[in-house]
Amino acid sequence: MSDEERGPEIIDAHQELVRHIEQGAGRMRVLSAITVVVAAVLAVSYVSQLALPLAGVKVVTVDLTAPGNVAAEVVVAALALLWLYVGARDLRFAWKVGGEIRAARTKEEAVSDRLGHGPQQEGAG
C-alpha cells in the first residue's frame, strides 16, 4: 500500500482520537465528580471512625443487612465496576491508537527519506 493510500487511514485515526477525547471528556467530568464525592464521604467516615475511641466508644455493632448499608454497598460496587469498565475501554483505545501512531510515524519517516529530507527532528522548523 502506498503512502498516498495510507493518508486517509491516518486522518481517520486522528479524527477517531479527537471524537474519543470529546466524548470521553463529559464522562470523565461526571466520573471525576462522583469519585470526589465518594472519596469525601469515605474520608469523613474514616475520620469519624478514628474519632470514636476519643469519645469513649470502644465497640460498634454494624448490621450488614440494614437497607442503608446494603444500598451503600451496591452504589459503591456499581461505581467501582463502572470505573473498571471505563478504564479498560480507555486502555484498549490507547493501545489501538498507539499502534496507529507508530505506523503513521514509520510511514512519515519513509516519505521523508524518499523526499531526501532525512529523519525529522522534533523542534526543528
In a domain, 119, yes or no: no
Most confident region among 6-10, 13-17, 80-84, 94-98 by mean pLDDT? 80-84
What number of CA atoms fall less than 13 Å from residue 121's CA on the CB side? 5
In a domain, 63, yes or no: yes
Does residue 84 lie in a domain region? Answer: yes
pLDDT in tens, 58-117: 998 989 999 999 998 998 899 888 878 877 887 787 787 777 777 777 877 777 777 776
Residue 30 pLDDT more than 50? yes
Torsion over CA of 99, 103, 104 and 106, rounded to 10 degrees?
140
In contact, 75 and 68? CB cutoff 8 Å: no
- Specify the pLDDT at position 6: 63
Count of structural domains, the chain: 1
Domain annotation covers residue 79: yes
Could you tell me the residue range of the domain that residue 39 belongs to?
3-114
